[in-house]
Every structure is written in C-alpha cells, then in structure tokens.
Structure 1
Amino acid sequence: MDPLSNTTLPRTSATLTVRVIKSFEYRTEKSFVLHNLNLESTTVGHLKDLARAAIASQPGWKPYRNVTLDTMKLYTHAHGAKTTNLIINLDHDDWILDDDSKLLADLGFENETEVSFFNKELYTQFKANPQTNWDY
C-alpha cells in the first residue's frame, strides 16, 4: 500500500495551500501553494507574513491587496473531511490560529494542509448571516 501524501514529505519540507478569501458572500477566494516550508520552525505570524508578501508581489493578486488580512484558520488536513461550505468551514472556531507565536507543527500542520487567510470582522459578519450572492 502506498503511503498517504501527507506523510511522504517530512515536516521540515512540507507543502501548504493558503486560501486567501476576499469576500465570503461572493465566494471570492484565490489560493497559492507554498513549497518546502519547515513546519517545525515556521510560526503562524511568519506564515501570515509569507502570504502577505506573496499577495503584494505576485501577479494576479491586485484585487486582494485592498483587503485587511488578519486571521488564519485551518481549512483541512490532507485526506481529511472537507466542509460543505465551499469558501470556509464555519464550524470549529477552535481552528482559528489566533496565536502568531505558535509553531505550525505544534498546531498539527503536516504536508498538504490547507489554511484560510481572511479578515476576521468580515468572517464574523458572514458567520452571523451566511448568505451568498455568488449566483447574482
């Protein structure tokens, strides 16, 4: 039996997907992938800085540069169950990464983990009234 992809790379060389959410109501999100990330030395705060730097410097991210991105939340682990909400998991607020000094490895991150990056105030508003407008 082949090993699962989340165990094929060591925690010192993991691949993570960051889902940057601009609008919850319109399901506007764009993802980028970070390769060779050392989960044993990378903190939540450093991951936020890496994401902000990518958004500021990479082509195609201009529409996301006017959003205040301040919060990360675990979306899913590799081979884990995904939420029925296509933009973010609204349950498990305990998955919000609110301590910037925590190491990703200590939070259970592994190869192929997906994390959402968003504005917490917009998330709170959407959670109170999770209506989407994407079909208008």
Structure 2
Amino acid sequence: MTPEVTVTVRLVRSFEHRNFRPVVYHGVNLDQTVQEFLEFIKKDIAVRVGLPPPFRKHTYDTMKIIHQAHGAKTNELVVGLEDDEKLILRHGQSLQEAGVANETELALFCDTDYRQYKKNPVSTW
C-alpha cells in the first residue's frame, strides 16, 4: 500500500506578474492518477475559503514538479522553465509514477500561459 503524503500545490495565475498562491494538501494518495488529482484540486479550489476569486476561477490544466524534499530549488520565482519532459506530469500516470513523493511542491497552471511565457520569460511589476 502506498503511503499518503503531503503535497504543496502552487496555483500560478500569472507568470509575468509572479502571481501565485500555495495550497497544501495532506493525505494525498500517490496511487491516484495525475488526472484524478487535478480534478480533485479544481473542485477544491473552486470552493476554498480564503482563496481570492481570480485564483478560484482561473483555468488550470497542467502540473509540473517544482521541488522535491531534500533536492535543489530552482532560482526561478514562479516555476523553472527547464526539464519539461521530465517534470511535467502526464495525465495517464499515477502520481507516484510521475515522481511525486512526500513534500513535493507542484506548480498548477494553464499550459497556454506557460508556453507563451517560455517564449519570452520577462517578469513585469
């Protein structure tokens, strides 16, 4: 049986404006698929108290590993732009197969926004 873990999900609303909010999930089952976890998060943030409406209503469709416990962190403030093939979670995989473990930090964002930001990674204030 796979243990349940704690995962931090960084809801990224804007890459350019560095606009994101972390949400912590305890008791995450690593046997569930990436798609199941994504659907769970979408339902949760839609009704989560204390989360501003722009974050609750934003379109999220992609998750990427930002940081693993005891690993190196990226210098990028919102999400690292490298290693997409390895770090972006694919929908058919279980969370464990995708590399999620206890205390993993994930970014949840709109893929279209991410691809646009990657072409011109400039932050505005």
TM-score by length of 2: 0.92
The whole-number CA distance in structure 1 between the counterparts of 2:82 and 2:2 is 27
Query: Which residue matches 2:75?
Result: 84
Which of 84, 88, 100 in structure 2 is aligned with 1:96? 88
Deviations 1:61-95 (A, max 9, x none): 31113321111111111111111111001111111
- 1:126 is the counterpart of 2:122: no
Query: Which residue matches 1:106?
Result: 97
Q: 1:52 deviation in Å? A: 0.5
Identity of aligned residues (%): 39
8 Å contact 1:76–1:82 — kept in the other structure? yes
Structure 2 runs not aligned, ≥5 long: none
Query: Which residue matches 1:18?
Result: 9
Answer with 17-26 or 102-111: which moved more: 102-111
Q: 1:11 deviation in Å? A: 4.4
What secondary structure is seen at the aligned counterpart in 2 of 1:105?
coil
Query: Which residue matches 1:48?
Result: 38
The whole-number CA distance in structure 2 between the counterparts of 1:65 and 1:17 is 16
Structure 1 runs not aligned, ≥5 long: 1-9
What secondary structure is seen at the aligned counterpart in 1 of 2:112?
helix
Runs of 4+ in structure 1 off by over 6 angstroms are none
Aligned pairs, number: 123
